[in-house]
Amino acid sequence: MVSQQIVNKSTRLGYQQIMFNFIRNNILFMKKLLLLGLVLALFSCQEEPKIDYAIVSGQIENPTDKTVSLFQGREKITEMTLDQDGKFSDTLKIENGYYNLDHGREMASLYLEQGDNIIVTLDTKEFDETISFSGIGSENNTYLSKKVLFDENSNFDFEKVYAMNEMEFMATMEEVKSSKLELLKSVENVGETFRTNELKNINYEYLVNLQNYQPAHRYYTKNSEFKPSEEFLKRLEDIDYTNESDYNNSQYYQRLVQSHYSEKIRNTDNPADIFKMINAEAFPKLKQDLADMLNFQISPNNEHNEDYYNGLMALSSDEKYKENLTIKYNKMKKLVKGKPSPQFTDYENHKGGTTSLEDLKGKYVYVDVWATWCGPCISEIPSLKQVEKDFHGKNIAFVSTSIDRAKDHNTWVEMVKNKQLGGTQLMADNAWQSKFVQDYAIEGIPRFILIDPDGNIVSADAPRPSDPRLVEMFKELKL
């Protein structure tokens, strides 16, 4: 017979064992829960991968080049090679903003955001009319393509509009602005950031037109004294020219800002002070853009070349730009009135043989640097013919020097013949790279040069034949 004491002891031991097992199992369960929680916490704390790229692909019918390039401003982001079917594709690490898609001589505006997957199709035979977009982000770009067609179909006659009186001009500008706002409103599903940017773009375009009104009206109406009313000018008073974000996102704001500062420099007798002010308040991209734009102001007839040179050197952080600017500036110092002219030697003469500048010594020489593909050059031909006629028999030689490439030699020969060009018709020996062209720092044509009978420079950037100042200059020289 088992004693009650033994039974009681056994019962207590069994109960203790049960409790021990229960507590141990609970501890193990809690440990598992804790471990699971730590694992979940570890995964939940990991940052999701950031999408900082966009995919651009598409297909071009009737391609005119082997590649498609994407630019942001002047910076080439990528160059995509077309396959045999005209297809292209690239994955691009980008910042949100506006880009240009270039193919051959055509260009389309793009707006890209991180995560976009844009598919572009077009036919180069009708580039703007056929371009279409699909995929993520396509709605924004569909609007941009519609805006291009809107501008093309508006038949905006710049000469007619800018020649209008102030009231008519303002009414026209308000109408254009309202039409573009309606176009933006009509396109569904554009992104909110994009819509905000486009609203700013429309307003900045409106302000650019207002900013251009005074100089353009003076030009088209031949009224150099014209000035808009104070009420008109007040619309331009409160523009903030220091908004770096808008500068990066709006080409029209860029124009506003660049024109604002370049006008300040142009309209002062002390450019050095304005350059100092710009250098103090402008952001880096604006400084370099202004440097690139104002580089062309360093010219033979600019009496402030030294101030421009020092100011542009201070604005730019591009060492290659500075190197080229210094070369150009040093050339300009040699192109002032009275300095010996750079020479050309043995240029092909359309009438046969060759001609050198030295052959013309003893006469004034009026040199027209041109090319058969240059529209503004060709538009000067009638005026040049008239000036040649008016000064026929005087002590002056009229020389037209083509900088066409060698492959266009026959085009030059035929144009001289067909347009019955007078004077001495020459072809430079190495197009833009001809030493005469380089020594005169010619970066754009037409360019006109006047040299005296001793071979010295009268003007390294003389008035065009269509400019009345040319005849005045000839008369002052008693030609």
pLDDT one-digit tens code per residue, 109-159:
999 999 999 999 999 999 999 999 999 999 999 999 999 999 888 888 889
In the predicted model, is pLDDT for residue 332 greater than 80? Answer: yes
In the predicted model, is pLDDT for residue 1 greater than 80? Answer: no
Q: In the prediction, which pLDDT does 10 show?
A: 43
In the predicted model, is pLDDT for residue 284 greater than 70? Answer: yes
Rounded to whole angstroms, the Cα distance separating 463 from 99 reads 39
pLDDT digits (tens, 9 = 90+) for 35-50: 545 444 445 445 556 6
In the predicted model, is pLDDT for residue 246 greater than 90? Answer: yes
Q: In the prediction, which pLDDT does 6 show?
A: 41
Rounded to whole angstroms, the Cα distance separating 317 from 83 reads 39
Rounded to whole angstroms, the Cα distance separating 83 from 92 reads 19
Pairing relation of β-strands 117-123 and 132-136? antiparallel
Q: Return the amino acid letter for 220.
A: Y
Alpha carbon separation from 226 to 94, 214, 268, 424, 460 (Å, rounded)? 46, 7, 19, 41, 31
Q: In the prediction, which pLDDT does 416 show?
A: 96
In the predicted model, is pLDDT for residue 2 greater than 50? Answer: no
Sheet with 53-61, strands from edge to edge, namely 87-93, 53-61, 117-123, 132-136
| pLDDT band with cut points at 50, 70 and 90 for residue 274 | very high
CA torsion through residues 446, 452, 455, 458, sign: negative
- The mean per-residue pLDDT over the stretch 83-89 comes to 95
**Class of CATH domain 53-143:** mainly beta
- The mean per-residue pLDDT over the stretch 329-345 comes to 94
In the predicted model, is pLDDT for residue 305 greater than 90? Answer: yes
- The mean per-residue pLDDT over the stretch 233-260 comes to 92
pLDDT digits (tens, 9 = 90+) for 16-73: 454 445 445 554 545 554 454 544 444 544 555 667 889 999 999 999 999 999 998 8
In the predicted model, is pLDDT for residue 15 greater than 60? Answer: no
What SS3 class is residue 365? strand
Q: In the prediction, which pLDDT does 51 show?
A: 76
Question: Is-contact 416 350, C-beta < 8 A?
Answer: yes
Q: Which residues does residue 282 pair with via DSSP β-bridges, in sequence order?
A: none
Q: In the prediction, which pLDDT does 13 show?
A: 43
- Continuous segment of H or E residues that includes residue 470: helix 468-476
Q: In the prediction, which pLDDT does 351 show?
A: 95
Rounded to whole angstroms, the Cα distance separating 140 from 155 reads 24
Q: In the prediction, which pLDDT does 52 show?
A: 83
Q: In the prediction, which pLDDT does 25 show?
A: 54
Question: Is-contact 252 237, C-beta < 8 A?
Answer: no
Q: In the prediction, which pLDDT does 341 show?
A: 96
Q: In the prediction, which pLDDT does 153 show?
A: 87
Q: In the prediction, which pLDDT does 24 show?
A: 53
Q: In the prediction, which pLDDT does 388 show?
A: 96
Rounded to whole angstroms, the Cα distance separating 60 from 305 reads 47
- The mean per-residue pLDDT over the stretch 406-428 comes to 96
Closest by Cα among 421, 379, 418, 415 to 400:
421
Q: Where on the phi/psi map is residue 317: left (φ > 0), alpha (ψ -120 to 50), or beta?
A: alpha
In sequence order, the 6+-apart residues with CB closer than 8 A to the CB of 264 are 274
**Class of CATH domain 347-476:** alpha beta
Q: In the prediction, which pLDDT does 301 show?
A: 87
